[in-house]
Amino acid sequence: EAGVVQSPRYKIIEKKQPVAFWCNPISGHNTLYWYLQNLGQGPELLIRYENEEAVDDSQLPKDRFSAERLKGVDSTLKIQPAELGDSAVYLCASSSRGGPGNTIYFGEGSWLTVV
């Protein structure tokens, strides 16, 4: 079974440019998360989806960040315009609510460097 797939793995952009990350969760997982992880820190939740509905986006900086999960499967996270402080790893994760232990599975992450 394929895990959570993210792309791109690495991205270097200049500040003020836009960037987008894509996530394909594990098949059948209705809950999808986007986390941000700074170097040496734990992941911080940006947004959580239940199917296509964003049920928790309280930590998403909405002035420059946006996300969507059309059809309740794949999701994209966009930053426009990017700032130097956005350099981090963006992790996508998914889980099946009601599944065994509700384990949350993480993708490999998208490493963003803003220069």
CA dist 37 and 71 (Å) reads 27
CA dist 65 and 34 (Å) reads 11
Q: Does 108 bind another protein (CB under 8 A)?
A: yes
Q: Does 73 bind another protein (CB under 8 A)?
A: no
**Of 12, 11, 4, residue with least CA distance to 94:** 4
Q: Does 54 bind another protein (CB under 8 A)?
A: no
Total of residues contacting another protein (CB under 8 A): 21
Q: Does 43 bind another protein (CB under 8 A)?
A: yes
* Interface pick for another protein out of 21, 25, 32, 33 (rule CB under 8 A): 33
Strands 5-7 and 110-114, bridge-based pairing: unpaired
The stretch near another protein (CB under 8 A) out of 15-23, 61-69, 70-78, 97-105 is 97-105
